[in-house]
């Protein structure tokens, strides 16, 4: 006979209660473990295979990279991206797209020879950019657009022969800049005037030609030194009579002939030194008549009215050398005035002394006859005394 199935009895609520009581506390622990594991999986999958990553740093230095690794899925907490000592020769326009939290970017010791415009437009929080020791021959004037928070820029040891106008216009917060070790012969003063907060400027190891093309930049450099900035040595290679001298020690009077050349070029309609025309308007003004009386209006002009930066002449600061010359003239005038007053006093003293001596001589001559009469009266008496004796 088959055994009868046991009848279903009432559920044991006490056992169920004990089971639920023992399993409930393990759920938060499991959730935490799952979160940690998922974050680790995300971090490892977002980090390029050739790089080392942590929560804030992505280190791809010295990996022999020929092209940029995939950086589209980097963690949002990444603050530093290191790519030095590789074999990178070019970068695509979107190489750093969506890396808005990046604060430091190092591309030094590569073979970069051309960088596309607005390459760093998404890096609004970047404060430190290093392009040291590459093969850059020229920089697009729009290369640094969007880097409004940049504080340090290093483009040293490249092959740059020019710093184009407009390249540094958006870097008004820049405090440290190095263009040392390039092929710079001269610099436009207008290219550096937007750097109102610059404190350290490195210009060494360039073949500087200390002629009229460098005169205006010398004046701006003196203004930078006047307000407390620091500049390393700017050693002249040309002309021969200035070779080896620091341009900061070259008197401004040696550039006086540049003013004559400017006047001649301006009068003849030829180009001014530095490639600007003498008739070019100041920067910020329009080619139109503007407001009443020819004054420029503060409103944004229509397209085609705004004078582009390369075709305008920026207002020049009064150089430090001129201010010092004015001070020297004032001091020399005061000293000359004091000397003149002393000379006048000495002349007056001499005149008074001469008049007193002349008066004394006249009185002395008046007394001499009286003294002679007295001597004549005394002679007979002396004779009588001698005869009696």
* Positions in the chain short of pLDDT 70: 1-45, 256-257, 259-325, 369-389
d(CA 194, CA 177): 13
> DSSP E strands: which ranges in 219-355?
230-231, 236-238
Helix axes 215-226, 320-388, angle to 10 degrees: 70
* Stated length of the chain: 389
- Residue 239 has what pLDDT? 85
User: Of the candidates 154, 168, 158, 153, which has an alpha carbon nearest to the alpha carbon of residue 138?
Assistant: 158
- Residue 75 has what pLDDT? 77
User: Of the candidates 158, 165, 166, 252, which has an alpha carbon nearest to the alpha carbon of residue 210?
Assistant: 252
- Residue 175 has what pLDDT? 97
For residue 360, the SS3 value is helix
Provide DSSP, 169-212: TT-TT--EEE--SS--S---HHHHTT-TT--EEE--SS-EE-SG
DSSP letter, residue 318: P
- Residue 31 has what pLDDT? 57
Q: Which two tokens stand for residue 357?
A: 């001596």
- Residue 212 has what pLDDT? 86
pTM given for the model = 0.60
Q: Which two tokens stand for residue 6?
A: 């046991």
CA 134 to chain centre: 22
Q: Which two tokens stand for residue 224?
A: 């930078």
Strand partners of residue 57: 80
d(CA 136, CA 26): 60
């Amino acid at each position: 006979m088959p055994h009868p199935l046991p009848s279903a009895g009432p559920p044991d609520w006490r056992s169920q209660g004990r089971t639920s009581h023992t399993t409930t506390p393990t759920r938060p622990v499991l959730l935490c473990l799952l979160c940690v594991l998922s974050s680790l999986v995300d971090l490892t999958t977002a980090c390029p295979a050739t790089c080392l990553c942590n929560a804030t740093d992505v280190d791809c230095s010295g990996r022999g990279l020929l092209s940029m690794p995939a950086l589209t899925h980097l963690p949002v907490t990444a603050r530093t991206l290191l790519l030095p000592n590789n074999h990178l020769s070019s970068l695509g326009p979107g190489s750093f797209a969506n890396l808005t939290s990046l604060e430091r970017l190092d591309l030094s010791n590569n073979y970069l020879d051309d960088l596309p415009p607005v390459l760093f437009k998404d890096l609004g929080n970047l404060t430190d950019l290093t392009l040291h020791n590459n093969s850059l021959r020229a920089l697009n004037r729009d290369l640094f657009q969007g880097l409004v928070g940049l504080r340090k820029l290093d483009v040293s040891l490249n092959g740059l022969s020019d710093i184009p106008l407009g390249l540094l216009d958006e870097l008004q917060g820049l405090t440290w800049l190095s263009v040392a070790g390039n092929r710079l012969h001269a610099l436009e003063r207008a290219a550096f005037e937007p750097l109102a907060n610059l404190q350290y400027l490195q210009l060494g190891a360039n073949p500087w030609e200390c002629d009229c093309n460098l005169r205006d930049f010398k004046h701006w450099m003196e203004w930078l030194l006047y307000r407390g900035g620091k500049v390393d040595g700017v050693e002249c290679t040309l002309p021969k009579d200035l070779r080896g001298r620091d341009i900061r020690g070259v008197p401004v009077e040696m550039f006086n002939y540049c003013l004559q050349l400017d006047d001649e070029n301006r009068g003849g309609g030829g180009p001014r030194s530095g490639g600007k025309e003498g008739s070019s308007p100041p920067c910020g003004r329009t080619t139109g008549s503007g407001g009443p009386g020819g004054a420029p209006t503060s409103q944004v002009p229509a397209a085609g009215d705004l004078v582009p930066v390369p075709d305008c002449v920026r207002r020049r600061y009064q150089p430090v050398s001129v201010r010092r010359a004015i001070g020297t003239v004032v001091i020399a005038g005061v000293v000359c005035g004091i000397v003149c007053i002393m000379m006048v006093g000495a002349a007056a003293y001499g005149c008074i002394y001469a008049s007193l001596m002349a008066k004394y001589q006249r009185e002395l001559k008046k007394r001499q006859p009286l003294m002679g009469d007295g001597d004549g009266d005394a002679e007979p008496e002396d004779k009588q005394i001698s005869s009696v004796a």
